[in-house]
Amino acid sequence: MASSTPALGAFPSPFSIETPPGCEGWEEMYPYYAMFDERRRDTDEPRFWFWNSMHFPVPMPAFDAICIDSPYQAVGTWQNRVFAVPPAMGIDYRIVNGYVYISGNPVTDPDQIAERADFFQKRAGHYFANWSELYGKWKDKMRALIGELEELQVPQLPKYESDEVALGEDRNTAFYELLDAYGRVLRLGDLMWQHHFEFLLLGYGAYATFAEFCKGNLPDIPDQHIAQMVAGIDVLLFRPDAELRRLAHLAIDTGVDGAFVEGRTPEQIDSELVSSESGRAWLSELEKVKDPWFNMATGDGLYHYYRSWLDDPSIPYAALIGHVNALRAGEQITRPTEELERERERLASEYEALLEQEVRGAFNELLSLSRTVFPYVEEHKFFCDYWFLTRWWNKIREFGALLAEHGFLEDGEDIFQLTRHEVASAFDELVLTWATGGRALGPAHWPPIVARRKQILERLSEWTPPPALGVTPEAVTDPMTIMLWGVTTERVQEWARQQDGGHVLNGAAASPGVVEGAARVVRSVDQVADIRDGEILVCGSTSPAWAPIFSKITATVTDVGGVMSHAAIVCREYGLPAVVGTGRATSQIRTGQRIRVDGGAGTVTLLAEE
Amino acid sequence: MAYTRSLDQLRREDEPSFGGKSASLGELLAAEIPVPPGFALSTAAYASFASDHAVAAAIAGGDADGIGDAMRGVAMPSDVRDEIAGAYAALGEPPVAVRSSAIGEDSAEATFAGQQETFLWVRGVEQVCDAVRDCWISLYSPTAVSYRARLGRDREAAMGVTIQQMVDAEISGVMFTCNPVSGDPSMVAVNASWGLGLAVVGGEVTPDDYLVSKVTREVVRAQVNDKHHEYVPDPNGRGTIRRDVEDERRTARCLNEPALAALAEVAKRVERHFGNRQDIEWAIARGQSIPEGLYLLQSRPVTGVEGPKPKPAPSSAIAAVMTTFGANVKRT
């Protein structure tokens, strides 16, 4: 369905991509500056753009595009304007048929690089030297920000303003309060993204340096061993599942485990539990766990439909059922943290002993620095992407409900089909007509737009984006592209070769082992529930929040991702083979197709049909 | 015992009198590494044989064919022969491998190319003595002579011999205690094929190629190749025969993960014992499994493998991170 005439290099020109039939007008969902536009064709066409399928695996709803702007505003600010990473400014993005393509802006002038190096050394040096203290403050900042978001009220539009407004002092009217609240909710989101990237580059950079050092001295060291030496044992991200395991123990110890029957909904389980004393005790224990541990998301939360466990308890309840069954079968389900800790130290000391004497000091120093920064690398996801973002989307839903109440939308959820500026505009009209008592055009204006966009998104999701556009670079040198997306020179060349198709997909060997089986292609979180026992998960990228499904699947294949992705770490925890960063697995593999995943070699073989 | 010694009685320092191969097998046994039992013949046995008038004259003449003819025409000194017979009997008179154990061979500095004679599946004391003599004759092969000349050691032609019980190998191969391609010291590189080790050592088949982590025993890479033939003992007596491998075994993987883990474990012990990187021949006895069926047949220092290109160690972790971010530039 895609037209892709290779115009420049092996990848299609961004200007040669046609709109899929029925998707005409998709551009209006996104900002004008997100387009490949003729007016800057001379500079956009010769660049290398790759599909950021790690963060944006499916077409962006109009409102969700805020999660493109804000992160790239924030990452660019820290990278380019605060730390001044010498060879790389920020990342440009463009949208093609709803999919997000990105390209770094390099710094090539040696004088500029040297000038930036001065800034970088001073500022990054400060962060590394004071990491734990600064990170402690960061966590306080994030908790305060989440608190502020929770306190933000979505004002209603009363028939008459209250006496306090009329007779009291310094009280604002609802029109102002509403516009202000909407502005503030957007600003709180920007603030979260600002915090999100404060430590990220430096954290990943320290880790990448250690990884690079290991590979320089131990060329065949598996990536997972590097990660294992660094990864925290007691990181926050494991807490939600650890709490579920504890609750499963509790259920058995207090004799209420009979409620956890395979196939039951959370409501059915709860209704059995409330009927007994010990069941109610268990439920109150569950309540204590919910804040904050149920702020886990059902996926890496850059789309509004990634809900939290609080919003959608079916995922934690499915995990509870699994844990209860495992305990009944006599399995040990508590994470053996002491054993993991010992193994981590054993790996580190054995590798150290294998190194030449003169580099052991550097090994230990880099390992120690990596371990210092790694909690942030792991935990910022929980604070930002899960806890904050799931609650933020819910706050936006409250604004949507208000628009629906006044007929501007058929359903509050439809707010996500409008851009943030369109929503602002709708509120402008809503408060105007509320104030004047005049007739609003909104109810006639917005619903058809929403309906049309839903249809476009549906069709765009069937389109297969090429892994990259533009000119194949001779070498990928941008440290950010390599570090954050695992897009290396080899990876790009492999994508280019694979443009012609083939039976073997190559990616990074993220977790060893060889498995054959039927593929399950998952493009969005609502398809997670379709996964059956024994299938191989094929997806854009996975999230550790999908923890419960890792006990069902036998291997994982992703389009994009490096070996330090959380998904890779979780796969290794579960002992599942994983190949990440294949560039095109979700577009080349269909659900049900038999594939062989070799997580040690980093290959995925599409097997012949029987 | 003037000329023979049980392998388990030998140590590194016996190399000048028994040769490198025998001495290193003794070392392996001392480290409690499984090696098939056997005995070693000293250089004194060769010296006694070479002192025979006809042999000495032929050696002085320097013609390889002449030396061979002279050696074959002379009986082995009876005291040497009696000791070989006694040691062979003590072993239980099994089929054995008879190999040269040259002085200086198997050392890190020099591999005596062309001087390593091996006779497999030798049965009976007569055949053992013949094989010993053939090892001695190989000292004067043109390649061995010219090799010694290059090293300036031609005055000192001397050789020990190793006589070792055969392992009827179902699978055998070679392993290095590093990756010989990348130089990675954390890996054991294993080559394996069906049957006796000849096929792998001689490069006659493309063996399965594995890389195993020394740290976790995980198999990091497994390349299974088409192993089209194998060597097995000749059912009719001395020697081996080469035969085709049936289709289903040709492309089958010959070592599973536990077997590779056990091999890596042994490789690590050998390396630790010798204190340097080792090149090890191993075999798994037919019908047996690892670890009981695993035997090491030989180990010697790895030669000709470079470590990973030495990179200058960063002055500090921060300096290394600065390099990652391209911030290690100085204004000119």
- ipTM for the predicted complex comes to 0.83
Q: How far A196 CA sits from the closest chain B CA (Å)? A: 19
- What's the whole-number mean pLDDT along residues B259-285? 94
Domain with B191 in it: what CATH number? 3.30.470.20
Residue B309 in domain: no
Give the one of A120, A220, A479 whose C-beta lies nearest to B184's C-beta.
A220
Q: Do B327 and A217 touch (CB under 8 A)?
A: no
Query: Domain limits at B79?
Result: 4-165
Residue B246 in domain: yes
- Asked if the C-beta of B268 comes within 8 angstroms of chain A's C-beta atoms, the answer is no
Q: How far A245 CA sits from the closest chain B CA (Å)? A: 28
Co-location of B290 and B233 in the same domain: yes
**pLDDT value for B304:** 62
> Contacts of residue B320 in chain A, CB cutoff 8 Å?
209, 213, 362, 366
Q: Do B220 and A220 touch (CB under 8 A)?
A: yes
Give the orientation angle of helix B125-138 with respect to helix B64-72, to 10 degrees: 160
CB contacts < 8 Å between A and B, how many?
Answer: 130
Domain with B62 in it: what CATH number? 3.30.1490.20
Give the one of A220, A351, A365 whose C-beta lies nearest to B316's C-beta.
A365
Name the residue in chain B with its Cα closest to that of A345.
B215
Residue B13 in domain: yes
Of A337, A357, A372, the residue that ends a domain is: A337
> Contacts of residue A366 in chain B, CB cutoff 8 Å?
314, 317, 320
Q: Do A225 and B316 touch (CB under 8 A)?
A: no
Distance CA(B92)–CA(B177), nearest Å, equals: 34
Instruction: Take residue B206 and report the two structure tokens written for it.
Output: 């493309």
Q: How far A597 CA sits from the closest chain B CA (Å)? A: 14
Distance CA(B2)–CA(A145), nearest Å, equals: 88
% of chain B exceeding 90 in pLDDT: 54
Confidence of residue A39 (pLDDT cuts 50, 70, 90): very high
Co-location of B15 and B158 in the same domain: yes
| Residue carrying structure tokens 């010992």 | A342
> Contacts of residue A116 in chain B, CB cutoff 8 Å?
327
Q: 3-class DSSP state for residue A469?
A: strand
Query: Domain limits at A268?
Result: 236-337
> Contacts of residue B308 in chain A, CB cutoff 8 Å?
216-219
Residue A71 in domain: no
- B119-178 pLDDT, tens per residue? 989 999 999 999 999 999 988 887 677 767 766 655 567 889 999 999 999 999 999 999
A66-70, A334-338, A583-587, B311-315: segment of lowest average pLDDT: B311-315
Residue A549 in domain: yes
Co-location of B93 and B130 in the same domain: yes
Residue A8 in domain: no
- B205-229 pLDDT, tens per residue? 888 989 999 999 999 988 888 888 8
Co-location of B116 and B177 in the same domain: no
Of A280, A310, A337, the residue that ends a domain is: A337
Co-location of B67 and B115 in the same domain: yes
Name the residue in chain B with its Cα closest to that of A364.
B317
Q: Do A356 and B214 touch (CB under 8 A)?
A: no
- Asked if the C-beta of B332 comes within 8 angstroms of chain A's C-beta atoms, the answer is yes
Distance CA(B325)–CA(B332), nearest Å, equals: 19
% of chain A exceeding 90 in pLDDT: 63
**pLDDT value for B114:** 42
**pLDDT value for A29:** 98
Question: What is the average pLDDT value for chain A, to the nearest integer?
Answer: 89
Confidence of residue B109 (pLDDT cuts 50, 70, 90): very low
**pLDDT value for A390:** 94
Co-location of B113 and B236 in the same domain: no
CA torsion sign for B82, B86, B92, B98 is negative
Co-location of B203 and B247 in the same domain: yes
Q: Do A512 and B323 touch (CB under 8 A)?
A: no
Residue A447 in domain: no
Q: How many domains does chain A have?
A: 2
Co-location of B180 and B98 in the same domain: no
| Residue carrying structure tokens 């002038």 | A109
Residue A266 in domain: yes
Co-location of B178 and B271 in the same domain: yes
Co-location of B124 and B189 in the same domain: no
Give the one of B215, B221, B321 whose C-beta lies nearest to A601's C-beta.
B221
Q: How far B113 CA sits from the closest chain A CA (Å)? A: 31
| Phi, then psi, of A510 in degrees rounded to 5 | -100, -25
- A567-582 pLDDT, tens per residue? 666 676 677 888 887 8
Name the residue in chain B with its Cα closest to that of A106.
B326
Of A337, A362, A396, the residue that ends a domain is: A337
- Asked if the C-beta of B186 comes within 8 angstroms of chain A's C-beta atoms, the answer is yes
Question: What is the average pLDDT value for chain B, to the nearest integer?
Answer: 86
| Phi, then psi, of A21 in degrees rounded to 5 | -55, 135
Confidence of residue A317 (pLDDT cuts 50, 70, 90): very high
Give the one of A125, A346, A479 whose C-beta lies nearest to B326's C-beta.
A479
Q: How many domains does chain B have?
A: 2
- Is the pLDDT reported for residue A2 higher than 70? no
Nearest to A54 by CA among A543, A502, A416: A543
Q: Do B186 and A110 touch (CB under 8 A)?
A: no
Mean pLDDT is highest, among A418-422, B24-28, B189-193, for A418-422
Residue B280 in domain: yes
- Is the pLDDT reported for residue B185 higher than 90? yes
Residue B316 in domain: no
Q: How far A366 CA sits from the closest chain B CA (Å)? A: 5
Residue A307 in domain: yes
Q: Do A217 and B311 touch (CB under 8 A)?
A: yes
Indicate which of B181, B322, B325, B328 best probes the interface with A, i.e. most A CBs within 10 Å of its own CB. Answer: B325
Co-location of B14 and B142 in the same domain: yes
> Within its chain, how far is the Cα of A134 from the centroid?
24
- What's the whole-number mean pLDDT along residues A233-239? 80
Distance CA(A395)–CA(A390), nearest Å, equals: 9
Indicate which of A217, A368, A478 best probes the interface with B, i.e. most B CBs within 10 Å of its own CB. Answer: A217
Name the residue in chain A with its Cα closest to that of B211.
A220
HSE value, Cβ hemisphere, 13 Å, CA-based, for B316:
7
CB B278 within 8 A of CB B267: yes
**pLDDT value for A7:** 34
Co-location of B149 and B24 in the same domain: yes
Domain with A560 in it: what CATH number? 3.50.30.10
| Phi, then psi, of B40 in degrees rounded to 5 | -120, 150
Residue A490 in domain: no
Give the one of B220, B316, B329 whose C-beta lies nearest to A86's C-beta.
B329
| Residue carrying structure tokens 């660049």 | A47
Give the one of A116, A221, A512 whose C-beta lies nearest to B186's C-beta.
A221
**pLDDT value for A428:** 98
- What's the whole-number mean pLDDT along residues A16-41? 97
> Contacts of residue B219 in chain A, CB cutoff 8 Å?
512, 600
> Taking CA B73 as the corner, what is the angle to CA B69 and CA B76, rounded to the nearest 5 degrees?
120
Q: How far A349 CA sits from the closest chain B CA (Å)? A: 10
- What's the whole-number mean pLDDT along residues A112-130? 94
Neighbours of A392 (CB within 10 A): 23
Confidence of residue A563 (pLDDT cuts 50, 70, 90): low
Residue A452 in domain: no
Q: How far B195 CA sits from the closest chain A CA (Å)? A: 27
